[in-house]
Each structure stands twice: as C-alpha cells, then as structure tokens.
Amino acid sequence: MVLPSPEFLTPKRLLWTAVVVACVTIVLKTAAWYVTDSMGLLSDAMESFVNLASALFGLAMVTVAQRPADVDHPYGHHKAEYFSSGFEGALIIGASIAIFWAACYRLFNPQPLQQLGWGLVLSVISSVLNGLLAWAMFRSAKVHRSIALEADAHHLVTDVWTSVGVVAGIVAVMLTGWLWLDALVAAGVALNILWQGCQLVWRSSQGLMDEALEPELLAGIEKTLSIFRQPPVRIDHVVTRRGGQRRFVDLHVHVPGSWTLARAAALRADVEAALLQSVPGLRAAIQLLPSDVEPHPDNADDLKTNADAG
C-alpha cells in the first residue's frame, strides 16, 4: 500500500481528518465507558471531546494563517497557528481538572465494572486510529512547519498513551479485583494530560514572543555564513526569529567602502541565495554597511547572535 506523501497531506487536510477521527473515537470511547462504567474510560472519552474542539479550532487558525499579507498585516497571518496551540493547551488543562475531580470522587466511592472485554476492544480500536493520525501529522508538520499540526499530533499521542494507561488499569482491576485501581489510573491520566496542556501553552507563548530558530537551523545558517566570512568581508549582528511557518534572519554584511554598489549588491544576492538553500523558505533581511561603519541600536543586547544567547 502506498501512503500519501507529507506534501499531499497538508495541515488543512489532516485537521479535517482529525475532526472525523475525533467524532469516531468519541462514539467508540463513550460506548466503552457506557458498557463498563469505568472512570478510566470516561476520562479517555472526555479527552476525545477535547480532541474534537482542538481540531476544529486548529482548522480555523490554519485557514487564517494561510491568508495573504494585507495592509493591516504586511508580514502575513502566520502567527495565528500559535493561538491554536495555546487554545488546545487550555482545553487540555480544563479537561484534566474535570477528570481529576471525577476520579477523586470515584476513588472514595468505587463501583463494579461490567463487560470489560467490549470496553477494551473499543478503546484499542480508537487508540489505533489516533496513533495512525498522529504519525501522519508529525510527518506533515515537519514538512509544512505547522505548529498547529504538531500540537494536535502531540495531543493525539498523549491520547494514545492515556488509552494505554486506562487499558492497563482495567486489566489490573480484572486480575486483582481492586476497584479503586480504576479511579487511580484516571487520576494519573489527568495529571499526564495537565502536563501536556501546560507544555502546549508554554510553546505557544514562546512562539508569540518571536523565539529564535531551532538549534539545527541556526547551525546551518552559521555554516553558510562562514563561507562568506572572508577578509575583507565581515558578517555580524545575526538575529533570527520564528513566525508560524515563516523563518526570518536579520544580519549585517560589512564590505570595504571602495567597493562599487554593484559588487556589494552581488555579494548580498549570493549570501541570500545560499541562506535560502540552507534553510528553505527563510526570509533574509541583509543590511549592507561599509567596513568602518557600526550601527547604534537602542538596546545593545539586540546585537548578540542567537548562538551566543543560547
């Protein structure tokens, strides 16, 4: 069987798929909870509702992010994806609190479980669906540099591990007869979901704060620039940032004042082309300066390269 390529599996296609899969898993997990009365399976079903809301909001934000630049947003709308990641994290945190509250109640009021076989089968089927979708999302997120897709993939992986934990808890109840294990597993699931939600909110906030590029991309940029750092050319003040799917780098290229404008412009074009080849889609802002001229920024810290800051 030939699997679709990550280029074909665009963020919008995968998020539409996530909406459908979320609806299917809601039915499966709710049915699993209904036939077993397991608090662990109920917590798993509640997280699937979060999956649905996250996929719908992510789809909306990806659509906004793909809008072209306009007068009010000359740099585009790419940061809209960070709102999706933050919203998803907030939903996960809310779900974890609700699950933990219900688990604590059931911990002191344990109830017998029923028809565990059917519950386990339905839970495993939904986990397989989420696992396959998460795998496809991770592949596509790397190609399209989509934080909304990556956030949803991380959430689905958490959902899979949640289901694994729930199934393990139910099996433990079946083997030992200790009903309180079901509630204990649900509480553990809630704490795991809470951690994942906090991570997503933190990553979203860092993206909105214009976080520097990933270390491997910074290394590629520095390696490319080292080719051109030959006397009398000097390159410094290298600063990078991320904005949704976009990658940006600002830098200064110092050349002798005796050079002609055509020669300096040709060097600038070569540097820009080399950077684009090193980091596809990179937006480079290169300022040409005479060798004896230094800028006078308002904040000296802005002169530090991202490598030094790391």
Last residue of a domain, one of 145, 174, 208: 208
Report yes or no on 2 lying in a domain. Answer: no
Report residue 254 as tokens.
Answer: 């110092």
Report yes or no on 62 lying in a domain. Answer: yes
Are 225 and 82 in a shared domain?
A: no
Amino acid 111: pLDDT? 65
Q: Which amino acid is at 136?
A: A
Q: What angle do CA 119, 122, 128 make, to 5 degrees?
A: 135
| pLDDT, average across residues 122-145 | 80
Report yes or no on 304 lying in a domain. Answer: yes
Are 132 and 71 in a shared domain?
A: yes
Are 298 and 246 in a shared domain?
A: yes
> Higher confidence at residue 257 or residue 11?
257
In angstroms, rounded to a whole number, what is the distance separating the alpha carbons of residues 299 and 35?
64
Last residue of a domain, one of 148, 179, 208: 208
Residue 181 structural domain: 11-208
Are 179 and 71 in a shared domain?
A: yes
Report yes or no on 119 lying in a domain. Answer: yes
Percent of the chain with pLDDT over 70: 83
In angstroms, rounded to a whole number, what is the distance separating the alpha carbons of residues 248 and 242?
6
Are 27 and 109 in a shared domain?
A: yes
Amino acid 194: pLDDT? 83
What is the CATH classification number for the domain harbouring 127? 1.20.1510.10
Report residue 232 as tokens.
Answer: 């009398």
Are 201 and 286 in a shared domain?
A: no
- The tens digit of pLDDT for each residue in 165-192 reads 777 777 777 777 777 777 787 777 778 7
Report yes or no on 243 lying in a domain. Answer: yes
Report yes or no on 108 lying in a domain. Answer: yes
Report yes or no on 4 lying in a domain. Answer: no
- The tens digit of pLDDT for each residue in 201-258 reads 887 777 677 778 888 889 999 999 999 999 999 999 999 987 666 788 999 999 998 9
Are 191 and 293 in a shared domain?
A: no
Report yes or no on 3 lying in a domain. Answer: no
Are 132 and 196 in a shared domain?
A: yes
**DSSP letters for 51-79:** HHHHHHHHHHHHHHHTSPP-SS-TT-STT
**What total number of domains does the chain contain?**
2
> What does the DSSP 8-state code read for residue 304?
S
Last residue of a domain, one of 177, 208, 239: 208
